Amino acid sequence: MPTLSKGSLFDPELVSDLINKVKGKSSLVTLSQQKPIPFNGQKEFTFTMDSEIDIVAENGKKTHGGISIAPLTIVPIKVEYGARISDEFLYASDEEKIDIVKAFNEGYARKLARGLDLMAFHGINPRTGTASAIIGTNHFDGKVTQTVDFNEADPDVNIETAASKVQGAEGVISGMAMDPQFSAALASYKVNGVKQFPELAWGANPGAVRGIPTDINRTVSNGGNDLVIIGDFASMFKWGYAKEIPLEVIKYGDPDNSGQDLKGYNQVYLRSETYLGWGIMDGSSFARVIKPAGGGQ
């Protein structure tokens, strides 16, 4: 690996490693069960067939079924993460440089995965925890209006009700993202003294509940009031990234506005930037179990 300089790029192997780690740590990416789409701004189309298929007799007349098309543009959003390290990095051997970059890559993947969930679930800037004008309404809290108030006494019914809302809108249930508070309620839920969801005991994350792919993650509630989001993640959520992910090694100045000059503290600054994009194809294909307004749950 060549000596790093300002504006160099992660090599393809490190980019693949980064994205694979994101896939393993983000609830949205885990449940979407699809490869990310490399893009520089990509338009996805959803077709709505307005009628049912029609039986046509031999030599019979065919009738118009109707079709509507709704374009959804996946717009990339730039995110960044930086960290100060000792300027000994500049003088380390190439092998040690690679180890440092791999460690940075691993940490960045965790932040990127969590950040994608927080942005796409709740529309917030992960660092500030506040609503992002750049994201606007392109998030589950903004797009998914079918909600069920959390009832700790019977969480099973909460999910049944949420699922029925999706199915009532002719949606499909392919996955479920769940907050640990809700999984704990399910783990404790009993009928005639028998626990109905023993696979969730002790904070377990079994990967599926009642045959539905499930991921348990605090990102479901962090920054919002959701406890469960259920629906068609496999078909109705898409995400992508820009293939070229730059890694800067900054030697001078105060790039993180900390008030400490890099040279004065014998430091350099590693910064990586990624363009991420996502799209919720149909909000009615999802439902949310939420904390009731003014409730103590």
Q: What is the pLDDT along the chain (297 residues), one digit of tens a residue?
A: 344 554 577 777 888 888 888 887 899 999 997 677 766 555 554 444 454 555 555 555 545 555 555 566 677 788 999 888 888 888 888 888 778 888 888 889 999 999 999 999 999 999 999 999 999 999 999 999 999 999 999 999 999 999 999 999 999 999 999 999 999 999 999 999 999 999 999 999 999 999 999 999 999 999 999 999 999 999 999 888 877 788 888 889 998 899 999 999 999 898 888 888 888 989 999 999 999 886 544
pLDDT confidence of residue 76: 79
Q: What is the residue type of 17?
A: D
What CATH fold (topology level) applies to the domain 8-48+70-290? phage-related protein like fold (3.90.1690)
Helix (H) and strand (E) counts in the chain: 7, 16
- Strand ranges inside the chain, DSSP E: 8-9, 37-38, 42-49, 67-74, 77-86, 147-149, 175-178, 190-191, 194-195, 208-209, 212-216, 226-231, 237-241, 246-250, 267-280, 286-290
pLDDT confidence of residue 46: 44
Tell me the longest C-alpha to C-alpha distance in the chain: 86
Residue 208 three-state SS: strand
Residues 6+ apart with CB under 8 A from 27: 117, 177, 215, 217, 219, 220
pLDDT confidence of residue 181: 96
pTM, rounded to two decimals: 0.84
pLDDT confidence of residue 253: 93
pLDDT confidence of residue 97: 79
pLDDT confidence of residue 89: 84
With beta carbons less than 8 A apart as the criterion, state whether 125 and 210 touch. Answer: no
pLDDT confidence of residue 297: 43
127 beta partners:
none
Q: Tell me the C-alpha distance between 284 and 172, whole Å.
A: 10
pLDDT confidence of residue 249: 87
pLDDT confidence of residue 49: 47
pLDDT confidence of residue 30: 93
A 10 A CB-CB count for 112 gives 24
